[in-house]
Amino acid sequence: MLGRCSHEFSWPRRTGDGDYYQVCTLCAAEYKYDWKTMRRTERVDHSTVEKAGAAEAGDPARRRPPKPTWVPRARRLALALPLRYRVKSLGEWYAGQIDNLSQSGLLFRGPQSLPERTLVEMIFDMPEEISGQRNSTVLCQGRIIRTKETTKKAAEEAPESKGVVVAASILDYIFLHSNK
């Protein structure tokens, strides 16, 4: 590919040794992703990785040391972003609002409760910290982790929070380019 790719990054994926990486859906460039800072760190160049791997293959002492077991709490991106959600492939969309996004997925409020483990589709603007792009609307596949009614007190104090609080994991997403 000639010229510079503007990069549209996938949801971070986990490698076998517990690190995360993102792939650009346009040019297939791969970057390591650090959830603690919510940033891409270094580009992964497969030609050098393979060479280094071959050089180290016969020497277990040169492998990286085990990681410490204590892991700081994952960063959460506080948001106030509109989203639409529905049961995967089934009719009605509900309008909700995202409260935060983290490694474990989304926390949002909406009018409709859904059973745990339901597969859902969600449409929203993926934050630049993940996608590498501003105003990148995505169609996202996810799974309901839990749904909780908002308390009566919370609903009285903030009428817009009436309904349910939903935690959903993110499995994958595609970029929507509706204005092209």
CA distance 102 to 107: 9
Longest dimension (CA), the chain: 65
* Count of residues that bind Zn ion according to CB under 5 A: 6
Of the listed pieces 16-24, 52-60, 78-86, 89-97, which binds Zn ion according to CB under 5 A? 16-24
Residues 98 and 106: beta-carbon distance below 8 Å:
yes
Minimum distance from residue 27 beta carbon to Zn ion (Å): 3
With CB under 5 A as the contact rule, the residue among 7, 32, 84, 143 that binds Zn ion is 7
**Closer Cβ to Zn ion, 5 or 158, answer by number:** 5
Minimum distance from residue 140 beta carbon to Zn ion (Å): 19
- Per CB under 5 A, contacts with Zn ion among 18-57 are 24, 26-27, 29
- At 135, the amino acid letter reads N
**Closer Cβ to Zn ion, 4 or 73, answer by number:** 4
Distance of CA 81 to the CA centre of its chain: 15
Q: What residues have CB less than 8 Å from 136, skipping those under 6 apart?
A: 8, 125, 126, 128, 175
Site string for Zn ion, 88-117 (x = CB under 5 A): ------------------------------
3-state secondary structure of 178: coil
